[in-house]
């Protein structure tokens, strides 16, 4: 697994932990790294993504709700919602990361951590967001 893939996985886990425990992001990060290890670059990327997504939750949730037609945000499984938040954040705020990479990485997280139908759902919602925020690709 590459460094960037590992960083995204850690960012997802940080966001998920924060969502489940409702603790402050800094406390979640401190606790997370007590149990996990990683290179300084991987840790920095994971923290940047997790903090960035967390700081823009309202905006990201609005984009997800608009793209997830016929789904209320609170009815989306926590794992899927967390993956969607991370992917939406990258699409909105990490312009240097190609859209295809964002979607592929999110689908891989959904395959690894979600239910059987999670990858298709995550792909569909993020692609709808991508079409809105990055219309040229």
Q: What is the pLDDT of residues 11-21, one digit of tens each?
A: 999 999 999 99
The structure tokens listed for 81 are 């919602």
Query: Could you tell me what percent of the chain has a pLDDT over 70?
Result: 99
Confidence of residue 137 (pLDDT cuts 50, 70, 90): low
Evaluate whether 87 touches 103 at the Cβ level (below 8 Å).
yes
* Cβ contacts of 5 within 8 Å, gap of 6 or more: 105, 108
Rounded CA separation 42/2 (Å): 10
Cut 0.85: pTM above it: yes
- Asked whether the predicted pLDDT for residue 23 surpasses 90, the reply is yes
How many Å apart are CA 52 and CA 67, to the nearest integer? 20
Question: For 52-69, what is each residue's pLDDT tens digit?
Answer: 999 999 999 999 999 998
The closest alpha carbon to 12, from 94, 110, 119, 130, belongs to: 110
CATH code assigned to 3-133: 1.10.940.10
Query: Domain ranges in the chain?
Result: 3-133
Q: What is the pLDDT of residues 57-114, one digit of tens each?
A: 999 999 999 999 889 999 999 999 999 999 999 999 999 999 999 999 999 999 999 9
């Amino acid at each position: 697994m590459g460094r960037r893939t590992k960083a995204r996985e850690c960012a997802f886990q940080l966001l998920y932990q924060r969502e489940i425990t409702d603790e402050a992001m800094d406390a979640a990060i401190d606790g997370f790294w007590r149990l996990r290890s990683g290179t300084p670059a991987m840790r920095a990327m994971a923290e940047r993504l997790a903090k960035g997504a967390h700081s823009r939750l309202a905006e990201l949730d609005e984009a997800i709700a608009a793209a997830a037609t016929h789904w209320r945000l609170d009815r989306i499984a926590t794992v899927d919602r967390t993956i969607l938040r991370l992917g939406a954040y990258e699409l909105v705020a990490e312009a240097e990361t190609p859209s295809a990479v964002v979607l592929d990485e999110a689908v891989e997280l959904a395959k690894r951590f979600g239910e059987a139908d999670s990858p298709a759902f995550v792909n569909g919602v993020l692609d709808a967001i991508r079409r809105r925020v990055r219309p040229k690709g």
